[in-house]
């Protein structure tokens, strides 16, 4: 489980300071990439494969991380005492909770939540750095109807 101190150490960092493989183009989406480096997710499509690097690999696809979660559900149904996990945002029609599947669409995003509903850390592609937000702030990542939030227990 990541700690608040560990996550805060990433704040304001560009992905080039996080990825040892040099997969850091500003034109690429790095939200799953950031989460996967922090949590050590090396499955599926990875930054090492994309860059032919030699450092620790990290998954780069939101829908692949979603599919690996042990449990998922709508954000409003986040179970207590789940203290930390993953948060996803996309159009609700892109998600099938029962099968833990998410369509591979452009408008999907991921972050790490800690403290239940308290804070979310994620890589802001528009700001090109790691940020921390409240769930209410995170819910504005996309306009409606692409702003349905889901939780996932970490793989």
* DSSP class of 93: G
Structure tokens, 82: 């789940």
pTM of the model: 0.96
The answer for residues whose C-beta is within 8 angstroms of residue 129's C-beta and 6 or more apart is 11, 12, 13, 14, 123
pLDDT given at position 116: 67
pLDDT tens by residue, the chain, 155 residues = 899 999 999 999 999 999 999 999 999 999 999 999 999 999 999 999 999 899 999 999 999 999 999 999 999 999 887 789 999 999 999 999 999 999 999 999 999 999 866 899 999 999 999 999 999 999 999 999 999 999 999 88
**80 alpha carbon, distance to own chain's centre:** 21
Q: Are 85 and 154 in contact (CB under 8 A)?
A: yes
pLDDT given at position 110: 98
Segments making up each domain of the chain, as ranges: 4-152
């Amino acid at each position: 489980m990541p700690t608040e101190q560990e996550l805060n150490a990433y704040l304001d960092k560009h992905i080039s300071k996080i990825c040892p493989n040099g997969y850091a183009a500003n034109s690429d989406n790095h939200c799953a990439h950031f989460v996967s480096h922090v949590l050590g997710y090396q499955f599926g499509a990875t930054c090492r494969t994309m860059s032919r690097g030699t450092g620790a690999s990290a998954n780069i696809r939101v829908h692949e991380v979603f599919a690996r979660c042990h449990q998922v559900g709508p954000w409003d149904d986040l179970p207590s005492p789940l203290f930390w996990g993953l948060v996803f945002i996309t159009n609700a029609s892109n998600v099938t909770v029962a099968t833990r599947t998410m369509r591979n669409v452009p408008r999907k995003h991921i972050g790490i939540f800690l403290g239940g509903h308290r804070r979310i850390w994620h890589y802001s592609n528009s700001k090109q750095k790691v940020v921390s937000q409240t769930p209410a702030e995170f819910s504005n990542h996309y306009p409606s109807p692409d702003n349905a939030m889901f939780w996932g227990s970490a793989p």
